[in-house]
Amino acid sequence: MKLFTVESANRTLPLVRKIVADIVRVYATWEERVQELEVLNAGARSEETDARTVALEREIAGLAADVQGCLRELKELGVEFKGYDTGLVDFPSEMGDRRVYLCWRLGEPAVAHWHEIDAGFAGRQPLAPAEVS
């Protein structure tokens, strides 16, 4: 498992930011298309295969594949994606002798928070100023 310092996490952030922005954008489109398909299917007769249904199913599969590709990229970088709506990412790290996550969310300028491995976003705390610079 790759471990990040605050500095190395922030060096990786431009690429992580782009990938996460793509995930959040594509996932939102995927959700819209799934809802549209559900509405179409609710009104369709069981034997009826509508051209729009087929097109939506194809588009949904393509969007899902795009998201999966982005998730693989993040995994290869060594970070953990945690939130489709918020674009939350954890960078495995160490603080003293214990494992923690450095925590970043889409829209934040830098990695400036951390939390215990089992605490999740609710346990997120700001890094000390000396750790951020």
pLDDT in tens, 8-66: 999 999 999 999 999 999 999 999 999 999 988 887 665 556 888 899 999 999 999 99
Residue 104 DSSP one-character state:
E
Residue 45: the pLDDT is 65
pLDDT-derived band at 5 (thresholds 50, 70, 90) equals: very high
Nearest to 100 by CA among 14, 3, 20, 16: 3
User: Which position has the higher pLDDT, 110 or 130?
Assistant: 110
Domain boundaries defined on the chain: 1-133
Q: What angle do CA 16, 61, 40 make, to 5 degrees?
A: 125
Nearest to 2 by CA among 83, 92, 65: 92
* Claim: this prediction has a pTM higher than 0.75: yes
What gap in Å lies between CA 98 and CA 113, rounded to an integer?
A: 16
Residue 72: the pLDDT is 98
Average pLDDT, the chain: 91
Lowest mean pLDDT among 53-57, 84-88, 120-124: 120-124
pLDDT of 113 higher than 80: yes
pLDDT of 111 higher than 50: yes
Phi and psi at residue 86, to the nearest 5° = -100, -15
Tally Cβ neighbours within 10 Å of residue 111: 28
What gap in Å lies between CA 98 and CA 81, rounded to an integer?
A: 21
Residue 133: the pLDDT is 47
Residue 121: the pLDDT is 84
